[in-house]
A and B are shown apart, each in its own frame.
Chain A
């Protein structure tokens, strides 16, 4: 099994998720024997612990229709969901920002560009 697949399998296991969640509140619980100078593998493991913790919590909240436990257990489907999710959230943020912008405009007001002074292209340009 590839290294990353092994790390992901560990990170999504109930055992490590429980330890990870407990370590956030109990200062006595440590994930690794070393407390500093983490290896790349450990960084990767921490990343996946955080990602799976987030997905499990979204699964519990029924956040996404297409998310179930089988998605979490399948790396390909999980990767797809994470990418789709990021695009979905990005779209929502753009939409809410544009709505926020619209709501700030007073009724009947025309969107005129505001004078911000002369911009210099390069330092020393006159």
Chain B
């Protein structure tokens, strides 16, 4: 066998490293599905088609209507008002704070971008500063999401994703055969295993911000 030069070995290692990265993550993008295993069974979540999207929007609207008619439920704006009056929590101030942090982040970007690779310490310092700002941003982002979750709009949005999780989840039954994971939406709602959570997370990853 031909002796490989150290340069050639380094080159081959680099190619293999890249191939490794590709094969590990390619399943994320190769098609519009996410395959995963749960309790020794193979499942997949796929992208919804037009009909399924429409059905999910109908389910979302039904929940919105029901919650609006029921006493005690609050719209986003009502909840924001209530939180300020009863709990002293100013959502609008938090949102303004979030925008301010975003501007701070942009300032760090403008400071970081002109620094060339000859100054690694400066780069590290600015990246650390950026990460600290991001932590503050995420704290406010999570707080806002948590306090606004009970509002009608958020509850209806959850229903939209739940419905799609039910319609787009499939279980592997044969070599290349997949069947719906739940026979009915009620079966899905009554499922107390962790499968529904995994499916919901995968569906949200698959959709990302397409709907918004």
Contacts and interface: CB of A to CB of B under 8 A. Distances in A.
A and B bound? yes
B210 A76 contact: no
Nearest to B210: A40
Contact of A41 (B28, B117, B127): B28
B113 A80 contact: yes
B108 A80 contact: yes
Contacts of B140: none
A44 B205 CA distance: 11
Contact of A45 (B29, B47, B106, B123): B29
Contacts of A25: none
A7 to B, nearest CB: 7
Contacts, number: 95
B184 interface: no
A84 B123 contact: no
Nearest to B106: A83
B121 interface: no
Given A7-B25, A71-B117, 20 more contacts: A3-B28, A7-B29, A10-B28, A15-B19, A32-B29, A32-B31, A37-B32, A39-B47, A40-B205, A40-B206, A40-B210, A41-B29, A66-B116, A68-B116, A77-B112, A77-B123, A77-B127, A80-B110, A83-B106, A83-B110
